Structure 1
Amino acid sequence: MKSLCRLVLPLSLLLLSPFVHAADFVLESIDIHEGDRISIRHAYAELGCKGGNLAPMLMWRNPPAGTRSFAVTVQDLDAPGGNGAWNWIVVNLPAATTELKEGAAGLPAGAVQTRNDYGRPGYGGPCSLPGKTHRYEFSVWALKSDKLKIDAKANAALAAFMIKGNALGQAKITATYSR
């Protein structure tokens, strides 16, 4: 019986965590859709890619209770190296934020776009190797802190680490791109 309690108690705590109960937290977009190909207007505009490099419009609803801010990330899940590549990270979006407009126009005061894996702050669209289809995960993260203590010079790995360490929930859309 003691061994059963040791197994059931941690499992029940996991099931009660806010991150698990974030199932109603939803990310939507008129620009990208689950499983679909990403438009050239949202692809990168350098390194042999000839896209418009416009961040897609994103909107979300039903964040978990206790959300104090949001972060948005785009990760190339199939980039060489095994850990993916970060195409966009925005942190310190106030809890009242429910969308980002196309091109990230009009980011709320205090929002920070950190360096992506192209080495620049801001959005860097998909640019997979020729002939390869890559999956890109667009995520909005509900965070338990008002503000992450990082600036636009922060690298993507540090920003992602801090986001995941403060996450209450994640809503995502995974789409593909190839050239």
Structure 2
Amino acid sequence: MDLSRPVAPAPYDQLPPVPSFALTSRDLIEGAPLGEDFVAHGGDRSPHLAWSGFPPETQSFVVSCFDPDAPTPAGFWHWTVVDLSADITELEADAGESDLMLPGASFHVRNDGGSHAYTGAAPPVGDRAHRYVFAVHALDVDTLDLDPDASPTAVAFTGLFRTLARATLTVTYQR
């Protein structure tokens, strides 16, 4: 593996700026390594996430986890949850297991590993530490009118035009 390849830019720095709000977790610490429970060859569990301070006009949320450092031209989407209602401000650990673990009408779209769920970190052995950007996007609509067959990139593109504010929490993992 070529460890000299350039570091990918922070994904949300490339988009039009929006206000931020707070994203916290009982399982993740900003800038710290991802725990083994949340990696592909550990527990493959989605972490707890909670958010607050988003704009009062928020009507729904999208939650995602993206690895911009994956050795692909487009990074790797590990998790995307669509149409979380505005009264949901927390996802417990393991909410990424299936749609049955999600509240209300929210649902998963297929991650880049092919499942409609959270898939844990699995950077190539020997590669540098990868960043895993967990994000919550506050939207000005109650639904993006997408279905589970939409790609995470389609969710990100559609949501971009509806985003009022965004919160991120970035952790790392290396094998």
TM-score (norm 1): 0.82
Show structure 1 runs of 4+ deviating over 3 A: none
Overall identity of the aligned pairs, in %? 38
The one of 44, 53, 56 equivalent to 2:44 is 53
Change (3 A) 1:82 1:67: same
Amino acid at match of 1:97: I
1:159 matched to 2:155? The reply is yes
The one of 58, 63, 66 equivalent to 1:75 is 66
Higher normalized helix content (fraction of residues) = 1
Question: What does 1:114-125 align with in structure 2 at a 5 Å threshold?
Answer: 114-125=109-120
5+ residue gaps, structure 2: 1-15
5+ residue gaps, structure 1: 1-18, 45-49
Alpha-carbon separation, structure 2, partners of 1:172 and 1:21: 12
Q: Is the 8 A contact 2:139 2:165 kept in 1?
A: yes
The one of 15, 19, 23 equivalent to 1:22 is 19
2:143 matched residue in structure 1: 147
TM-score (norm 2): 0.84
The one of 81, 94, 100 equivalent to 2:85 is 94
The one of 113, 132, 143 equivalent to 2:108 is 113
Per-residue deviation, 1:77: 1.3
Q: Is the 8 A contact 1:116 1:123 kept in 2?
A: yes
Computing the radius of gyration from Cα coordinates, the structure with the larger value is: 1
Alpha-carbon separation, structure 2, partners of 1:107 and 1:172: 20
Per-residue deviation, 1:22: 2.5
1:138 aligned counterpart, secondary structure: strand
Q: Is the 8 A contact 1:121 1:153 kept in 2?
A: no
1:170 matched to 2:161? The reply is no
* Deviation per residue, 1:84-112 (Å, 9 max, x gap): 11100001000001100000074111001
